[in-house]
Structure 1
Amino acid sequence: MTVAVPAQAALDYFPCRYGRSRVLFRGPRRRLDESYIGFLGGTETYGRFIETPFPALIEHQIGFPCVNFGAVNAGLDLYLHDPAIIGLAEKAQTCVVQVMGAQNMSNRYYSVHPRRNDRFLRASDRLQQLYPEVDFTEFHFNRHMLGRLKQLSPERFNEVVLELRIAWVARMKHLLTLLRGRVLLLWFADRAPSDKPVSDTQGDPLFVDRAMLDALRPRIAGLVETPLSDPARRHGAPGMIYSDFEASAAAELMGPQAHEETAAHLLPMLRELLG
């Protein structure tokens, strides 16, 4: 009998849980009985392959506890379906919420895993009627499924993207209401937000454009776009820590310099919010 052994990650993330949440966050585990800044977001906030991600850099520079509630491939569903983390985020002095893609959340066309939001679970009757030629049991990841749908019919695919955009704005408004507007929204990407609707299935955050961000402005303390330098935008940049097994995943992410520049952009606004 052959036993599969998971590959060992090159970087120790000291995974930990908070409250009754079942999600493993990046540690070391922080105390929550004092004032802190909460960071919610996806892979970049978690800091995959990054020894000191931007939440930790900010804590070092601002001298204020920062709790990393980021999760790899997180979408909005991870937070909206986890009252324990929402409660802890609400207690934070302020929160930084990374703009996450619109593909990793359940909607009228398909359902995703409640914690591993990038995992495709099932297609709704609506999606099966829209794409009767597709066997949806072949898909395990949302992006793979969406890429195939676009390839088959860009016209029908635009209907799916429209639903995702509408659902994303509504769900973001709900999240920001729960956090009582004490939020800095962070655009962490290798490009600026598009001024036109986006239907490309490459790049992150998927399908989010400037008009969608503008719809959230009344509910946030500020939007921080990070105009990263050319070296910082490089994917698979030097300084990342990963094993040979993780090399392909690391090649899709920006490196330590992107985190350093992001922290530098966030610091002035956080200092202002903290008084």
Structure 2
Amino acid sequence: MRGPRRRLAGRYIACPGGTETFGPGLEAPFVALLERRIGQSCINLGTLNAGAGAHLNDAALLDICGRAERVVLQVTGAHGVSNRLFTVHPRRNDRFLKASPVLRSLYPDIDFTEFCYTRHMLLALKAHDAARFETLREEMCTAWTMRMRKLISNLAPPVTLVVMSERRGKAGLGEDPLFVTPAMVEALRPIVDGIVTAPRPHLPEAARHRAVARALGEAFALQAA
């Protein structure tokens, strides 16, 4: 996790997320900017390539979030969640571990031992047969929805979602968060406090993080009024 390490006493906001929350290459990701804006400790729990599965498997992270005043949770891609067709690494959710017998029967002409990364596998499967790939997409989306609902239910404080679209890797799979549609995010609104969406990736990354921090600060101010 990015940190920095803090003494977790008193009021603080916990901010779990993936690569965008971690903010590689940025001196001040949106978590640090939010802290400066509202004058309250904001703990950056972003982890490179982490998704909902990694958060659910991390008892220490859930404990930190459970003691927070509120949680800001980044929406991560559906490709980083283990499902009935394939399994990802429990911590590094970008790593492909194994295909289920169902996926092997769906793609009997693919050698899955060639894949180490989930994106690489998905690009190859989509290029091989786009029609069959839709079955895989539906399974990923279903698993993502179930995992996100479970994660949010395990976070006791009020949760605000942050959606940060990114163009990472090859464009053949779409923007991050991969395969997560606005409708999927919107379906979570009844169980969260709010949803903040970053500007599209045409802006510089630092500017987008400033926009997220500003939107979060304004939302929290309204809720406190």
Instruction: Return the TM-score normalized by structure 1.
Output: 0.77
Deviation at 1:226, TM superposition (A): 2.4
1:156-235 residue pairs with structure 2 within 5 A? 156-180=132-156, 182-189=158-165, 201-228=173-200, 230-232=202-204
CA distance in 2, matches of 1:68, 1:274: 22
Q: Deviations over 1:148-189 (max 9, x none)?
A: 000111111100110011111111111111113611111112
2:213 to 260, 263, 273: 263
From 48, 69, 78, give the equivalent of 1:102.
78
Which protein has greater RCO, CA pairs closer than 8 Å, 6+ apart? 2
- Structure number with greater Rg is 1
Task: Tell whether 2:5 aligns with 1:33.
Answer: no
Q: Which amino acid aligns with 1:269?
A: A
Give me the CA root mean square deviation.
1.8
* Aligned equivalents of 1:129, 1:69: Cα separation in 2: 38
* Equivalent in the alignment of 1:247: none
> Which residue of 75, 94, 97 corresponds with 1:121?
97
The CA deviation at 1:55 is 0.2
Aligned residues: 222
Q: In structure 2, what residue type is equivalent to 1:212?
A: M
- Give 1:230 deviation, angstroms: 4.1
Query: Is the contact between residue 74 and residue 118 of structure 1 (CA under 8 Å) also seen in structure 2?
Result: yes
Question: Which one-letter code corresponds to 1:267 in the other structure?
Answer: G
Where structure 1 has 5 or more consecutive residues not aligned to the other structure, the ranges are 1-24, 192-199, 233-254
Q: Aligned partners of 1:110 and 1:29: how far apart in 2?
A: 34
Which stretches of structure 1, 4 residues or more, deviate above 6 A after TM superposition?
Answer: none
1:81 paired to 2:57: yes
Aligned to 1:249: none
The structure whose residues are more often helix, as a share, is 2
Paired residue secondary structure (2:87): strand
**In 2, Cα distance between equivalents of 1:70 and 1:273:** 24
* SS of equivalent to 1:77: helix
Partner letter of residue 209 of structure 2? H
Q: Secondary structure at the match of 1:95?
A: strand
Residue 240 of structure 1 is matched in structure 2 by: none
What is the Cα deviation at residue 35 of structure 1?
1.3
Q: Is the 8 A contact 2:71 2:157 kept in 1?
A: no
Amino acid at match of 1:161: R
Percent identity over the alignment is 44
CA contact (8 A) 2:73 2:162 kept: yes
One-letter amino acid of the structure 2 residue matched with residue 221 of structure 1 = D
Does the 8 Å CA contact 2:51/2:76 hold for their aligned counterparts? Answer: yes
Query: Secondary structure of the equivalent of 1:231?
Result: coil
Higher strand share: 2
